[in-house]
């Protein structure tokens, strides 16, 4: 009996272990708002994390009006090269996958939408000199039409409908998209979607956006990049027109670096290295031309931003990243502390009353060494000084030194109490 009981217990344990080991995982990556370089980085890192943790699928949850072409191409490339299944899902109710969002939706191995959502309207637009939007040139339209057609062909979706998204600005509701074969499933929410895919028991993980993702997302917004470009140019112009403060030049240089990245001049790795090099240059400049910490503060900002961008090697251990961040923050904090201490010391020194020379005598008292009416002499600290006063001072009277004029001390009689 005991042997039978042991066998039953072992069988149950083995069964539970096998069941636990076979539990599927789904990694959710959310895209909300404009598609930017930060969004592309968020999706790329999310798919890599999902594959690394052994997830069965990465689920990209969409609610976007569109975004940058370069970022959209990067996201589609990440989906195409994903080692695991990628599900694209327009959700919740009222969400849209317009323009760039439709390309991402079609790229999924499985495409789904919630009821009450919309996709399509992919015609590329540009603006005329008056700022009015209008359809882009024929070359751009043909390229994007061919691109969405290739995505549709790859996923076995109707090519003619995909082309109409670009050429006619076609938009479809979830039911229309399902009817025309653009999507595979309509589901109320993520659990409902996974249930319809026979993955109801899957564990759901949601990727949290990092500070790095948010910073890149902000900088890669064309409006923000343009504003930073203007601030950078004006900062440098004002710096050259009123040299000496170093504030406009420092702000201008930092804003220009941020703007150049936002406009796509270099990738995120080069961006991080550029910021760190700029930080070093600013620290050296502060040492050579003290500016009461202005350049140091700029260096601290560049150092922290640069550290957020670097490094992003997926094979490095997590502890290394934490150590690296602590080192960078420690260096930034030490630089800021040095800046605060240096400025405080300079201000304190400037406010201190002189203790040597004639200025150090002001406020002290001594005896008149002769009559002072209006001129005479005083003796202080073993030295004889010419003195001047309008008080009619007699020899031996106690006087207070109130000022100096050249080599003559200005004194006044101290009244006896």
Residue ranges of E strands in 103-207: 110-113, 118-120, 125-127, 133-135, 171-173, 185-186, 203-206
Q: Among residues 82, 81, 100, which one has the least CA distance to residue 90?
A: 100
**Three-state secondary structure string covering 210-235:** CHHHHHHHHHCCHHHHHHHHHHHHHH
Give the pLDDT confidence score for residue 298 in this predicted structure.
78
Catalytic residues: 99, 139
CATH 3.90.226.10 applies to domain 24-209: yes
The whole-number pLDDT of residue 314 equals 43
In this prediction, residue 16 carries a pLDDT of 46
C-alpha 219/C-alpha 213 separation (Å) is 10
User: What DSSP element (H or E) covers 63?
Assistant: strand 57-63
Q: How does strand 85-90 pair with strand 57-63?
A: parallel
Structure tokens at 128: 């005329």
State which fold the 358-413 domain adopts. OB fold (Dihydrolipoamide Acetyltransferase, E2P) (2.40.50)
Q: Return the SS3 of 8.
A: helix
Long-range contact pairs involving 384-391 (C-beta distance under 8 Å, separation at least 24): 385/361, 385/409, 387/411, 389/413
Residue ranges, CATH 2.40.50.140, the chain: 358-413
CA 271/CA 269 separation, integer angstroms: 5
- How far is the CA of 386 from the CAs of 164, 293, 379, in angstroms? 99, 43, 9
The CA distance from 240 to 249, in Å, is 8
pTM above 0.75, yes or no: no
Closest CA to 52 of 317, 279, 256: 317
pLDDT at 217: 77
Query: Please, where in the chain does CATH 3.90.226.10 lie?
Result: 24-209
pLDDT tens digit at each of 417 positions of the chain: 445 544 545 554 544 444 444 578 999 999 998 888 888 888 998 999 999 999 999 999 999 988 888 889 999 999 999 999 999 999 999 999 998 999 999 999 999 999 999 999 988 876 554 445 677 788 888 899 999 999 999 999 999 999 999 999 999 999 999 999 999 999 999 999 999 999 988 999 988 877 777 777 787 777 788 788 778 777 877 777 776 667 777 788 888 888 877 766 666 667 677 777 777 777 767 666 666 667 777 777 777 777 666 555 444 444 555 666 677 677 677 766 765 665 555 555 555 555 555 566 788 888 888 888 889 998 887 788 889 988 888 888 889 988 888 788 889 988 775
pLDDT of residue 280: 72
Show the CA angle centred on residue 246, arms to residues 244 and 252, nearest 5°: 140
CB 57 within 8 Å of CB 27? yes
């Amino acid at each position: 009996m005991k042997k039978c009981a042991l066998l039953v217990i072992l069988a149950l344990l083995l069964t539970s272990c096998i069941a636990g080991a076979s539990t599927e995982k789904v990694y959710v990556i959310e895209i909300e708002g404009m598609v930017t370089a930060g969004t592309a980085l968020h999706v790329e890192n999310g798919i890599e994390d999902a594959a690394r943790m052994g997830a069965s699928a990465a689920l990209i949850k969409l609610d976007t009006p569109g975004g940058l072409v370069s970022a959209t191409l990067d996201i589609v490339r990440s989906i195409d090269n994903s080692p695991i299944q990628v599900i694209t899902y327009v959700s919740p109710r009222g969400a849209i996958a317009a323009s760039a969002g439709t390309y991402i939706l079609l790229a999924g191995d499985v495409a789904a939408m919630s009821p009450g959502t919309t996709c399509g309207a992919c015609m590329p637009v540009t603006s005329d000199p008056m700022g009015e939007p209008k359809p882009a040139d024929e070359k751009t339209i043909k390229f994007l039409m061919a691109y969405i057609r290739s995505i549709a062909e790859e996923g076995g979706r109707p090519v003619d409908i995909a082309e109409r998204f670009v050429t006619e600005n076609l938009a479809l509701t979830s039911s229309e998209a399902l009817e025309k074969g653009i999507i595979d499933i309509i589901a109320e929410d993520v659990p409902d979607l996974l249930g319809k895919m026979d993955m109801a028991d899957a564990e759901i993980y949601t990727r949290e956006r990092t500070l790095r993702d948010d910073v890149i997302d902000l900088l890669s917004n064309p409006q923000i990049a343009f504003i930073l470009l203007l601030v950078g140019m004006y900062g440098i112009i004002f710096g050259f027109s009123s040299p000496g403060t170093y504030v406009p030049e420092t702000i201008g240089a930092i804003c220009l670096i941020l703007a150049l990245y936002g406009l796509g001049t270099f990738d995120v790795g080069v961006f991080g290295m550029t910021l760190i090099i700029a930080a070093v240059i600013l620290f050296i400049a502060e040492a050579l031309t003290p500016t009461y910490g202005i350049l140091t503060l700029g260096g601290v900002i560049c150092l922290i931003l640069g550290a957020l961008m670097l490094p992003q090697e997926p094979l490095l251990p997590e502890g290394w990243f934490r150590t690296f961040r602590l080192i960078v923050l420690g260096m930034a904090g030490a630089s800021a502390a040095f800046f605060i201490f240096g400025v405080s010391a300079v201000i304190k020194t400037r406010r201190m009353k002189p203790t040597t020379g004639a200025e150090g005598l002001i406020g002290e008292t001594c005896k008149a060494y002769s009559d002072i009416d209006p001129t005479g002499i005083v003796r202080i600290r073993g030295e004889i000084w010419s003195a001047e006063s309008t008080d009619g001072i007699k020899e031996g009277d106690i006087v207070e030194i109130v000022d100096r004029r050249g080599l003559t001390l200005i004194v006044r009689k101290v009244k006896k109490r």
